[in-house]
Chains A and B, each alone.
Chain A
């Protein structure tokens, strides 16, 4: 039992002690009562979108945070999930599958594309993989944009079916969507925690820390990375179904590199490899975009009108958002690479003294060159 105790102290788990359990309960209660308390439908609607991005960030965290693979084309899987719903739940092809059936189908479709892309490319070294995913992320929206026979090109597919429960039609009411997203997030957190502590999750972290050593310990690294890729992608596909069914429309311009980078910023800001951190990062960045920057712009314009300072009138904080994401990425990596809410293990890894890190890299280099010449 000694080893188990060591484990719990080394990797404190959220919800273990009384304080964090109370915090968790408070967050859950707040999340459940939120749409009842806030009667402003546009706020609830924004919360649904934020929830979708939480799902996406949780999925990307599996790839980036756990397995340490940089996926720069993650939005492509979001597009695949969205278009899957567009094809199979709209008058476009005359097929009307139920929303609830489309959730697993889109998840599987995205996972399948993850495997198709990953199988040949996961042998590559990490930074090449990043570029391959980036290229894939550019190709997918281009295909959806140009295959206008099936996708209506830039106009996209509209009149998507709203979800039903029994005879109840979700329609344009964001509240039922809110509870669906909340349920999906709760389910995802449970699944991801289980995965993290499973042999597969441990294999991911071993690969992230030292791929050569992991392979030497008998881990099938390509297979484990492929799982990370496919499982991560499936979250994106499921998020796509929720997002597009709520919008009632799917167009090709929501899925470019900027979306992938947006999700990546959430993961990096919150804390790679830590579930509460990633959720926090997603909520902060989404609210920053949808509420805070719009509000700041409004205030600045009001102040400008009041003081007759032209500069304040021109200022548009929403346009600055990518500047802020860029700064966030650079500053976080330089000063707090473990994120706002770090995972204990990742923190140790990222704060190794430079001599240790250098020595580790050097050894790694020697091993791989010997393996090459052998």
Chain B
């Protein structure tokens, strides 16, 4: 394998990882855009998503790759079920832990978010145990061998699903009444309320969509790595948050771009620097972006204190 092929291979790997980060990053960015809260528990919603998908796969009797066209139906069923479950989880979290604190000092909802994150992790740990749990293959995984560069069907599926989800989200936010309500609420909550928008249900909808997308991320993560673990959400969430900040928090296109960039960065630094320093490098990027360009690559200028 030549140096060039190695680079291409890492780009392919980084792209599929980045697509997962992008799915999680969307939830961070949407919630931040609308209520200016770093939803600390969002990474754990992603993790819960992978366990819900595991549960659904189990109840559908899937223990290995499903053959034939049935695979599409099975995967769609798991996908939609997971989205519904994590979406509702997000709504419940918002209602119970964030809404009562909407007028409290900024520190308060941030602290409850950390608390919710711990609760989710430990409830899953109680149910599923402290060790990683194996995730069934679900789909066959033929490999496309382009010279020495290997692209797996799973990678194509992940990138494809992410693109569909993001395009759907972009369409929803830009072209529907509810999407317009979300944008209006993000711009000016009071003015939006005066225009007859129900602020509470719009915020709840934002949590639903963001959390459902995290559920999609959890499902494809399980398929890709064949293993899910209750602490996966913490680091993945932090990296996805880095992605959201890198792209410009509050900006949907920015979150997608940031996710892909972080995935690529991770794959490349694992290859060319050291596997062991990957996390440190990603977080160093986070600090550098926040220090030198807190508005991110695509973001507008934000007031520095509020």
Bound-state CA distance A110–B270 (Å) is 30
Contact B118 A325 (CB under 8 A): yes
**Shortest distance between the CB of B128 and any CB in chain A (Å):** 13
Q: Given the interface contacts A139-B280, A146-B277, A350-B104, does A132 sit within 8 Å of B287 by beta carbon?
A: yes
The SS class assigned to the B binding surface is: helix
User: How would residues 227 to 268 of chain B score, 1 for a CB under 8 Å from any chain A CB and 0 otherwise?
Assistant: 000000010001001100100000000000000000000000
Which residues of chain A (109-152) have a CB below 8 Å from chain B? 120-121, 123-128, 130-132, 134-136, 138-139, 142-143, 145-146
Q: Is B155 an interface residue (CB 8 A)?
A: no
Quick one: which of B115, B130, B287 has the most chain A CB within 10 A?
A: B115
User: How would residues 231 to 264 of chain A score, 1 for a CB under 8 Å from any chain B CB and 0 otherwise?
Assistant: 0000000000000000000000000010001001
Contact B115 A357 (CB under 8 A): no
Contact A126 B106 (CB under 8 A): yes
Q: Which residues of B contact A68 (CB under 8 A)?
A: 105, 107
Q: Is B152 an interface residue (CB 8 A)?
A: no
Q: Given the interface contacts A257-B234, A334-B112, A349-B105, does A121 sit within 8 Å of B290 by beta carbon?
A: yes
Q: Which residues of B contact A357 (CB under 8 A)?
A: 103-104
Tell which of B37, B126, B301 touches A372, judged by Cβ atoms closer than 8 Å.
B301
Contact A372 B303 (CB under 8 A): yes
Q: Is A333 an interface residue (CB 8 A)?
A: yes
Which chain A residue has the least Cβ–Cβ distance from B97?
A330
Q: Given the interface contacts A126-B106, A130-B38, does A136 sit within 8 Å of B287 by beta carbon?
A: yes
Q: Is A337 an interface residue (CB 8 A)?
A: yes
**Shortest distance between the CB of A342 and any CB in chain B (Å):** 14
Q: Is A320 an interface residue (CB 8 A)?
A: yes
**Shortest distance between the CB of A368 and any CB in chain B (Å):** 4
User: How would residues 294 to 306 of chain B score, 1 for a CB under 8 Å from any chain A CB and 0 otherwise?
Assistant: 1000000111111
Q: What count of chain A residues pass the 8 Å CB interface test?
A: 56
Q: Which residues of B contact A132 (CB under 8 A)?
A: 286-287, 290-291
Contact B305 A261 (CB under 8 A): no
Quick one: which of B117, B118, B241, B291 has the most chain A CB within 10 A?
A: B118
Q: Which residues of B contact A350 (CB under 8 A)?
A: 104-105, 108
Q: Is B9 an interface residue (CB 8 A)?
A: no
**Shortest distance between the CB of B232 and any CB in chain A (Å):** 14
Which residues of chain A (341-374) have a CB below 8 Å from chain B? 349-350, 354, 357-358, 361-362, 364-365, 368-369, 371-372
**Shortest distance between the CB of A32 and any CB in chain B (Å):** 35
Tell which of A145, A323, A371 touches B123, judged by Cβ atoms closer than 8 Å.
A323
Q: Is A296 an interface residue (CB 8 A)?
A: no
Contact A323 B306 (CB under 8 A): no
Tell which of B103, B130, B280 touches A319, judged by Cβ atoms closer than 8 Å.
B130
Q: Which residues of B contact A292 (CB under 8 A)?
A: none
Tell which of B110, B242, B286 touches A70, judged by Cβ atoms closer than 8 Å.
B110
Contact A211 B305 (CB under 8 A): yes
Contact B286 A334 (CB under 8 A): no
User: How would residues 311 to 327 of chain A score, 1 for a CB under 8 Å from any chain B CB and 0 otherwise?
Assistant: 00000000110110111
Q: Which residues of B contact A212 (CB under 8 A)?
A: 305
Which residues of chain B (88-126) have a CB below 8 Å from chain A? 96-97, 100-101, 103-112, 114-119, 121-123, 125-126
Which residues of chain B (113-169) have a CB below 8 Å from chain A? 114-119, 121-123, 125-126, 130
Bound-state CA distance A13–B303 (Å) is 38
Contact A261 B114 (CB under 8 A): yes
Bound-state CA distance A25–B213 (Å) is 57
Q: Is A268 an interface residue (CB 8 A)?
A: yes
Bound-state CA distance A368–B283 (Å) is 29
Contact A125 B291 (CB under 8 A): no
Quick one: which of B100, B126, B130, B290 has the most chain A CB within 10 A?
A: B290
Q: Is B60 an interface residue (CB 8 A)?
A: no
Which chain A residue has the least Cβ–Cβ distance from B241?
A131
Which residues of chain A (272-327) have a CB below 8 Å from chain B? 319-320, 322-323, 325-327
Tell which of B97, B107, B306 touches A368, judged by Cβ atoms closer than 8 Å.
B306
Q: Which residues of A contact B (CB under 8 A)?
A: 64, 68, 70, 72, 120-121, 123-128, 130-132, 134-136, 138-139, 142-143, 145-146, 211-212, 257, 261, 264, 268, 319-320, 322-323, 325-330, 333-334, 337, 349-350, 354, 357-358, 361-362, 364-365, 368-369, 371-372
Q: Which residues of B contact A (CB under 8 A)?
A: 36-38, 96-97, 100-101, 103-112, 114-119, 121-123, 125-126, 130, 190, 234, 238, 241-242, 245, 274, 276-277, 279-280, 283-284, 286-287, 290-291, 294, 301-306
Shortest 8 CB-CB distances between A and B: which pairs? A326-B118, A329-B115, A135-B283, A323-B122, A330-B115, A326-B119, A326-B115, A357-B103
